[in-house]
Amino acid sequence: MNNDLIKQHGLTLEEYGVINDYLKRELTIEELGIFSAMWNEHCCYKTSKKWLKKLPTTNDIVIQGPGENAGVIDIEDNDAIAFKIESHNHPSYIEPFNGSATGVGGILRDIFTMGARPIATLNSIRFGELSNFKTKYLVNAVVKGIGHYGNCIGIPNIGGECEFDSSYNYNNLVNAMAIGHVQKDAIFYSKPKTLGALIVYIGSKTGKDGIHGASMASDVFSEDDEDSKRPSVQVGDPFMEKLLMEGCLELMDAKLIESMQDMGAAGITSSSVEMASKGNLGVEINLDKIPLREPLSAYEILLSESQERMLAVILEENNEKVKNILKKWQIDYEVIGKITDTKRVIFQSKDKIVVDLPVDIIVDSAPEYDRPFNLPLKRKDKEFDLSKLNLEKCLNNILKNINYSHKSWVFDQYDSTVMGNTINEPGLSSGIVKIHNSSKAIGATTDCNPLYIRINPEKGMCLTVCESYRNLIASNLKPMAITNNLNFASPLDQNIMGELVLSINGLKETALYFDTPIVSGNVSLYNQTNDEPIKPTPVIGCVGYNSNYKKIISNSFQKKDQQILMIGNILSPKNSPYFLQDQLGLTEISAFNDICDPDFELEKKHKNFLFDSFDDNLIESCNDISKGGIMHSLIKMIKNELGFSIKIENELDLFVECTAGYIVVISTDNYQKLLDKAESLEVNIRNLGMVTTKGFEINQSKLNFNSIYDKYLNTFSDKINN
């Protein structure tokens, strides 16, 4: 085994030395492929797991935390929700349509592998500047890929985020989240239990697509690598996924499956090793039994990441029943091996054993690094000259900025209403679906503040998580639990490693305070091309719950002449990064002041005040305040020609972020009741103005309602299409 071959497989010579010392022999090429797949960042989290272990992952509602295909939480009675977010970043840059489509397919399999029927998807996508030669191509192809897969399989896409920044010019991010509903007594796991049980292959035939996909996702690359990396991108078939989903759910419902694992990253290698490890058992698999699309070597079969495939364990007496059900769904099925008591992973091909490895060397001995990291330097407090800014300039800067424009061009390509249970359409604070045949509502949101986290990773992460909570709270949904997708550049850079460590610390601190455990997630490192790192982008997927969907609060204006109030502390412009970035257009990253401290106590106080007011039917609509400040939140609330007339002492305050900030709209009849409640709970309320018809008035300035609202609605599509 030569050094170049070892390095080509993503292993360091030191890592190979550990393997060699343990086995006391050379590896076969197939065994080298297994370590390449299982010891990369994507599969074993060798850089991040030291820090991920510090996250809170349990409380009274957690049924399954990290370690399974998806996390599962209890939502009362016999109902549970499975959810997870995953990245498909590198594939979606190299082959954007197939990369994004298979990202959706993969996350859906993670959900129904748990026995849960998928009920919704979301996504978090980020691209480079529109002036970059490739950005528009990537946006179009990624959105089409997400829409194609989700629409064909028939799962509603209920929300997400889409942002642009120069740091993603050569490394766009595609994070896909899925949510499923399952009965608590019908959850399935990947742990096999029965010696001699059959290992069966279910789904599409295996081909060459996706070979080395997991290791590709664990490495940096340059533009010159694109063509050579393209074969590592999988190609999906949503119609087969639909058949696979229905067939697997029927098998689970009939109690014919003992355990199941998606053949995702690293294909049959990862799924079989994980099964053996979780069951503390062994597996023997005959690769000659694998259904193939084309002739493949044993090495290629082991590392293929062809889509729409599952590995399951069944009792031998159920073989015919399983075969007949899958035949009805026109799904390939083959018995390929058995569960053993050897605690070894054995693959054979052509009457020869090509892999014979103890499970513990693959899993337990996988590297865990404590990489050095830098703490950010303390920023000196600076004043900025804002004297040339006024209402008109600031408003125009927001309206022409694609990050603040309405994203209907994106989500109109997704079917958000299929299945008939969608309550909130995409584009509002959170996506919301009703649990079928019940009154229960599940809300979800994906959020990140890359600029905050670049400035101060720990505080920035705290504020990101708080914003995610506010998106749910504004709709009267209780935040329950978190899935995360930690997107960073190369951890070999000590500054970037510091961003990762401090972000996880911030996530831990916030989740502990609000008792919202992290039940699943993904780490995506080495997101940089041509030595250009992305901004740190740890995406938070938060799930919320209300037992009665009729109590969901709208995020839009409802009636003319209702009063507009706000709660929250308005930041100083000099401490408002998005205000400085969007209004001045002059500051470099080093010129920003530090961001404000999170105020957990105020966040909780405002949450309790809002939930109490919702229960008393005092609030007509509500929206959180985040990037773009009060002004952007008000513009997002415009609906059915209902605008606003407000008064504020300092007009620049309309464009800065707020701590624990919400816009609250009430009937004038409830004004005094709300004030009394706020006083009793020590909440400060500011009266901004009134809801009007076709109005856009600030202090004494009457602005053109149609022009402003048209720019908000159409800037995105105009810039993408031109």
DSSP letters spanning 243-282: HHHHHHHHHHHTT--SEEEE--TTHHHHHHHHHHHHHT-E
Q: Is the pLDDT higher at 709 or at 591?
A: 709
Pair (253, 295) in one structural domain? yes
Domain boundary among 551, 580, 596: 551
Q: Clarify whether residues 591 and 711 are in a common domain.
A: yes
- Catalytic one among 42, 90, 181, 632? 42
Domain count, the chain: 3
Please determine, for residue 225, whether its predicted confidence score (pLDDT) is greater than 80: no
Asked whether residue 691 is assigned to any structural domain, the reply reads: yes
Residue 676 within any structural domain of the chain: yes
Domain assignment present for residue 518? The answer is yes
- CB-CB contact of 535 with 165 (8 Å): yes
Give residue 215's pLDDT: 46
* Residue 216's pLDDT band (cuts 50, 70, 90): very low
Is the confidence at residue 297, as pLDDT, over 70?
Answer: yes
Residues 70, 518: Cα–Cα separation, whole Å: 11
Q: Among residues 88, 181, 406, 632, which one is catalytic?
A: 88
Q: What confidence score (pLDDT) does residue 212 get?
A: 62
In a domain, 361, yes or no: yes
User: Are both 454 and 318 inside the same structural domain?
Assistant: no
Asked whether residue 222 falls in the same domain as residue 313, the answer is yes
Whether residue 423 is found in the same domain as residue 474:
yes
> Do residues 195 and 159 share a domain?
no
Residue 562 and residue 659 in one domain? yes
**pLDDT tens digits, one per residue of 8-40:** 898 999 999 999 999 999 999 999 999 999 998
pLDDT for 220:
55
Instruction: Find the mean pLDDT for residues 584-589.
Output: 73
Tell me phi and psi for residue 599, to 5 degrees: -120, 85
**What is the predicted pLDDT for the residue at 209?**
79
8 Å CB contact between 188 and 449:
no
d(CA 460, CA 453): 4
Look at residue 469 and tell me if it is in a domain: yes
- Summarised one tens digit per residue, pLDDT across range 226-283 is 554 445 577 889 999 999 999 999 999 999 999 999 997 788 999 999 999 999 999 9
CA dist., res. 464 & res. 456, Å (int): 12
Are both 68 and 171 inside the same structural domain?
yes
The mean per-residue pLDDT over the stretch 640-646 comes to 95
On the CB side of 121, CA atoms within 13 Å amount to 33
Q: What's the rounded mean pLDDT across residues 400-414?
A: 95
pLDDT tens digit sequence for 78-97: 999 999 999 999 999 999 99
* DSSP secondary structure letter of residue 562: -
Q: Are 12 and 77 in a shared domain?
A: no
**How far is residue 259's CA from residue 353's CA, in Å, rounded to a whole number?**
25
Judged against a pLDDT cut of 70, whether residue 293 lies above it is answered with yes
pLDDT for 231 equals 53
The confidence score (pLDDT) of residue 230 equals 46
For 603-641, write each residue's pLDDT tens digit.
999 999 999 999 999 999 999 999 999 999 999 999 989
Residue 509 counted as domain residue: yes
| Co-location of 534 and 670 in the same domain | no
**Same structural domain, 557 and 544:** no
What value does the mean pLDDT take over residues 374-401?
Answer: 91
Percent of the chain with pLDDT over 70: 97
The CATH number covering residue 164 comes to 3.30.1330.10
The predicted pLDDT at position 608 comes to: 97
pLDDT given at position 463: 97
Please name the residues in contact with 297: beta carbons below 8 A apart, sequence gap of 6 or more.
Answer: none
Residue 219 scores a pLDDT above 70 = no
Catalytic annotation on 406?
no
DSSP SS3 for 495: helix
pLDDT in the model for residue 218 = 45
In which region does residue 336 sit, left (phi positive, over 0), alpha (psi from -120 to 50) or beta (all else)?
Answer: alpha
What tens digit of pLDDT does each residue of 164-174 get?
999 999 999 99
- In a domain, residue 127? The reply is yes
Any domain includes 167: yes
Over 90: is that where the pLDDT of 424 sits? no
Of the three residues 551, 567, 583, the one that is the final residue of a domain is: 551
The CATH code of the domain that includes 694 is 3.90.650.10
User: For 116-169, what is each residue's pLDDT tens digit?
Assistant: 999 999 999 999 999 999 999 999 999 999 999 999 999 999 999 999 999 999
Residues 432-440, mean pLDDT to the nearest whole number: 95
Range of the domain at 605: 375-405+553-722
Q: Reply yes or no on whether 88 is catalytic.
A: yes
Is the same domain home to 703 and 717?
yes
